[in-house]
Structure 1
Amino acid sequence: MSKVEDFEELRPLLFSIAYRILGSVSEAEDAVQETWLRFDGSATRPTSTKAFLSAVVTRISIDVLRSARVRREEYIGPWFPEPLLNDPYQDPARSVELADSVSMAALLLLERLSPLERAVFVLREVFAFGFADVAAAVGRSEAACRQLLVRARRHMEAGRPRFEADRGERQELATRFFDALRNGDVGGLQNLLAADVQLVGDGGGRAPQLARTVLGAANVARLLGTVFPWLLRVDVTLEPREVNGQPGAILRDRDGRILQALLIEVLDGRIQAIRGVSNPDKLGHLGPVADAWAVDREVKQVRRRMR
């Protein structure tokens, strides 16, 4: 095959590696493009194109992550990864594992790791690369990579929930949740929420967002059951979608532009966390983005008229 054909065959894998290391669709796409430029500019063909390209995209992603960490420390409000609707890398034998590894909860746990730990964990634990290839990708010895993996596993396991819901349970609970949300059913919402549920928003100062995290089933249900009916009055629609491999939804304005990505985390038969991403810089890869400030102003105008 030609270089172009080799690269295009591996592009989904390269993007999936980069996204899990970076938590950013746009940065992952840039890392993949830079990988192509280096591959196209190389004078020789590697023995294993997969190992070579995976190593290149990993090194690029590590460098980008190191600089991104500084920006994330200065971020306004909570920082979440960019929402992903479709992970292009498909491996039917490991589809559940791959979906779980790209969940918002998993990506936030990965933020606890150093860039090297994160890269080693992603290559070894998610994509099952051999230690020789992992070592070549991160520029460390195999022994060092094993130690990095031990530390990464320790951090990841410390943050993982003890009991995880299966996909059927998550989807059934999500359907009931979104039905109650559309109906403004505060009681119905509260019955689906864990006692210590969290509602958190990421607007990055670029869109209306919660002043702080909302805690507790009663508080979260009351806020959602009150706010969402007003959004419906200005023709905001809710489109259930799988987001980052988990139940979620896309909120759109009356023109179909994206207002917010909403994700829910289910554990032990209840919704444990609800995360909303409304920063327009993190939604552009999903399609045209709505003016969230304009929608917010319209809601306030409608509320004033209804008083």
Structure 2
Amino acid sequence: MTDRPSADAPSRAEEFEEHRARLLAIAYRILGSVADAEDVVQETWLRWEASATRPRSTRAFLATITTRLAVDVLRSARARRETYPGPWFPEPLVSDPYTDPERSAELADSVSMAALLLLERLSPLERAVFVLREVFGYPYAEVAATVERSEDACRQLCARARAHMAQERPRFAVDRAEADGLTATFIAALRAGDVDRLREVLAADAVLVADAGGKAPLFGDGVFVGDRLIRLLVGMAPDALAAGVTLTPERINGGPGAILHSADGHVLGTWALDVIDGRVQTIRAVLNPDKLGHLGPLADPWQTLQDTKDARAAARRQG
């Protein structure tokens, strides 16, 4: 049932803009892709604009369209991700489009790389229910209407998702200032080639995992652990820095991280860091340029690799 708009009612565009940030935030958490989330929200706008009537609750109506579209996109994306070359990570997010002081903790936790990778293990329906209910606090009645299931079924879906997330998530809390300080120390040690300092900052079994998607240079399988990781960092950093590559601290998916830029200032990739017990435990590197376009102009990763090799050769000649 719908109401007729009054003469002084806001325009459809104005109503939609009031909800756009939340819709983007919902779609991103369901999809793990900034580009796909933006496409879903654009399609939601087109359907909203074309609708002949106004719903009683614009908030619920737009969330329903966005969620259903996102679930459809996720189902088709699952097949592509099964054949994705190498490790797969969500597209990195520098800033959450939606903020809500009352749910700030849930919003921040749900957008982390670790949480998004856990959400990947849920079914599309479980993921949608969990995001709507646990992250954004939608009442079960609205969640049920959105996913076209009963409230009892949604409670069961949410309980399963919640249990899975709680079981798999590491149980630790990281102080933001401490994590950011550790990130700065890590980057400084990397720039200086300080092996001893790197060993102090990195956990003994620290791991770097890189998502290049076959679109950027990748050594081996893209997974480096412990001493092998130290050798990679110390071996590559000086040459990359000599070629003009920069590593700038940045919040990535709500946590500590960095953005890599080429000599011309274009985006090469991102690092998202997991900090546990005062040390860097995991570095998740997104290098696939298909996942970085929303961050700015992109560098040519192959050319940057060649520049790095040239810098190494020049250093050897001078030495």
TM-score, structure 2 length as denominator?
Answer: 0.93
Counterpart for residue 269 of structure 2: 260
Secondary structure of residue in 1 paired with 2:121: coil
Task: Tell me what 2:123 maps to.
Answer: 114
- Where in structure 2 are the equivalents of 1:157-306 lying within 5 Å? 157-306=166-315
CA displacement at 1:155 relative to structure 2? 1.5
Q: Is the CA contact (8 Å cut-off) linking 1:258 and 1:283 kept in structure 2?
A: yes
Q: CA deviation at 1:239?
A: 1.5
The answer for unaligned runs of 5 or more in structure 1 is none
- Counterparts of 2:122 and 2:155 in 1: how far apart (Å)? 15
Q: Tell me which residue corresponds to 1:86.
A: 95
Q: Where in structure 2 are the equivalents of 1:49-68 lying within 5 Å?
A: 49-68=58-77
What is the deviation of 1:303?
Answer: 1.7
CA distance in 2, matches of 1:283, 1:29: 14
Which consecutive residues of structure 2, in runs of 5 or more, have no partner in the other structure? 1-9
In our comparison, the structure showing a higher alpha carbon Rg is 2
Question: Over residues 175-232 of structure 1, what are the superposed CA-to-partner deviations in whole Å (9 max), with x where a residue is unaligned?
Answer: 1111111111121111111222211000000001232254443322221122111111
Give the structure 2 partner of residue 31 of structure 1: 40
Paired position in structure 2 for 1:3:
12
Whether the aligned pair in 1 keeps the contact of 2:208 and 2:223 (CA below 8 Å) is yes
Moved more, 11-20 or 135-144: 135-144
The answer to whether 1:95 aligns with 2:104 is yes
Match of 1:262, SS state, is strand
Instruction: Sort the Cα spacing of 1:235 and 1:204 in 2 relative to 1 into closer, same or farther, 3 A.
Output: same
Q: Is the 8 A contact 2:210 2:223 kept in 1?
A: no
Query: What is the SS of the residue equivalent to 1:306?
Result: helix
Contact 1:62 1:116 in 2 (8 A): yes
Q: Deviations over 1:149-192 (max 9, x none)?
A: 11111221121002231212211211111111111112111111
Aligned residues: 307
* Distance in structure 2 (CA, Å) of the matches to 1:75 and 1:36: 30
- Report the alpha carbon displacement of residue 233 of structure 1 after superposing the two structures with TM: 0.3
Out of 138, 142, 145, the position equivalent to 1:133 is 142
Separation in 1, partners of 2:86, 2:104: 33
Whole-angstrom distance in 2 between the partners of 1:158 and 1:96: 19
Letter in 1 for 2:244: D
**Conserved? CA contact 2:240–2:311, under 8 Å:** no
For 1:8, the aligned partner's letter is E
Superposed displacement of residue 236, structure 1: 0.8
User: Which residue in 1 is equivalent to 2:4?
Assistant: none
Aligned mates of 1:9, 1:67 — CA distance in 2: 29
How many angstroms does 1:65 deviate by? 0.1
Structure 1 runs (4+) greater than 6 angstroms displaced: none
Q: How far did residue 262 of structure 1 move?
A: 1.0
Distance 2:138 2:41 in 1: 18
Q: What code does the residue aligned with 2:239 have?
A: W
SS at match of 1:197: strand
Letter in 1 for 2:242: R
Separation (CA, whole Å) in 1 of partners of 2:197 and 2:79: 42
Q: Which moved more, 1:270-279 or 1:62-71?
A: 270-279
Instruction: Tell me, yes or no, if structure 1 residue 147 matches structure 2 residue 143.
Output: no
Q: State the distance in 1 between where 2:57 and 2:166 align.
A: 33
